Amino acid sequence: MDNCIFCLIAKGDIPSATLYEDEKFRVILDLGPAARGHALVIPKEHYADLFEIPADLAAEAVKLAKRLLPAMKEALSCDGFQLVQNNGEAAGQTVSHYHLHIIPCYAGKGPGAAWTPGELAEEDKTAIPEAVKKLL
Ligand code: AMP
Ligand code: ZN
């Protein structure tokens, strides 16, 4: 993927504020952070999203986030974290190269990624589990 911005960043062809790098991942600071210290775990191999990425590599991305969290908590003096991972335009994915957001949260500021809670419809309580279970 020659023209993929995250391929270029992950491989070091475009400079980035890098917190961590190994043979499989680069972790960078997001240029449009939801909060101070907002980081992105980017695999060096190109996969568009969670549908495409091999399960083991996605699991490794989460393991890496788990390893980074205590260091980020201490370095940033933050109070919590959100892990966010968008899949598809409808979900707000703007870069079609799998990445896991690590968003630090600060007491009193509210979470960087928030939604307005709706209400679970009565029929969905059975219809959705039934529909999904059938396909697993
Ligand atoms: P998503 O909406 O999940 O696809 O997230 C893409 C994220 O990448 C956004 O939070 C952007 O701010 C961030 N981003 C886009 N281009 C760059 C870049 N060149 N360096 C760092 N972060 C970037
Ligand atoms: Zn890519």
The whole-number pLDDT of residue 126 equals 98
Ligand 1 centroid vs 46 CA: distance in angstroms?
15
The whole-number pLDDT of residue 80 equals 98
> Which atom of ligand 1 is found nearest the CA of 92?
2
From CA 85, how far away is CA 28, in angstroms rounded?
A: 15
Q: Mean pLDDT in each 10-residue stretch from start to end of the chain (136 residues)?
A: 93 97 98 98 98 98 98 98 98 98 97 95 98 98
Residues with CB under 5 A from ligand 2 (ion): 1, 4, 6-7, 46, 97
From CA 73, how far away is CA 25, in angstroms rounded?
A: 20
The whole-number pLDDT of residue 58 equals 98
The whole-number pLDDT of residue 1 equals 75
From CA 34, how far away is CA 51, in angstroms rounded?
A: 25
